Amino acid sequence: MTKNSNKVAFPAKFLVPIGHFLENEIKKLKKTQDSLEEGDPFTDTDRASQNSLEEDVDEQVGHLHSEVKVNFLSRQIVQIRKALARIKLGKYGLCESCGKIIDTDRLAIKPDATICVECEKNKE
pLDDT tens digit sequence for 108-119:
899 999 999 999
Residue 11's pLDDT is: 78
Nearest Cα to Cα of residue 9 among 111, 108, 89: 89
CB of 3 closer than 8 Å to CB of 36: no
Tell me the average pLDDT across 2-6.
42
Contacts of 124 (CB under 8 A, 6+ apart): none
Residue 80's pLDDT is: 95
Residue 48's pLDDT is: 59
What is the pTM for the complete model shown? 0.77
Higher pLDDT, 123 or 100: 100
CB of 10 closer than 8 Å to CB of 1: yes
Tell me how far apart the alpha carbons of residues 120 and 100 are, in angstroms, rounded to a whole number. 13
Q: What is the mean pLDDT of the chain?
A: 85
pLDDT in tens, 28-82: 999 999 998 888 877 776 665 667 777 778 888 888 888 999 999 999 999 999 9
Domain locations in the chain as residue ranges: 8-91
Ranges assigned E (strand) in the chain = 2-4, 7-9
